[in-house]
Amino acid sequence: VQDTQSLYASFALAVRAGSFDDPPELPGLMHFIEHMVFLGTAKYPDPEGFDKFVAENGGDQNAYTADEATVYYVELSEEAADEGLDRLADFFRAPLFKSDFVEKEVHAIDSEHAKNVQDPGRRVYEV
């Protein structure tokens, strides 16, 4: 969908790999990858670069790992759309996966999981 009058651009990318694809010995791997791709790429190595770029261009971004897919989505100013899309695409062309961030991201994922376990809605969904 394209609206030439819009001040914002939005795009999303779904990867056909989710938590059902985690190997038994590495539960949470797809969620971990979801987090790590945000932390720098060959073309855009700053680990905070994507978040900063989106925020500086009046936007928002997020991602989630579902059972069968992982989805990344972005909204930002129309003027920044081309570079925003290039930055998102580089997550999949050349992610850095720097070891410096492994412990921090594992902790973040554990915290998210602990919070989600307490959510009755998620428990119903899992049944």
Annotated catalytic residues are 34
Residue 42 identity:
A
| Tokens at 124, concatenated | 């119903």
Q: How far is Cα 49 from Cα 91, in angstroms, rounded to an integer?
A: 12
Residue 30 identity:
M
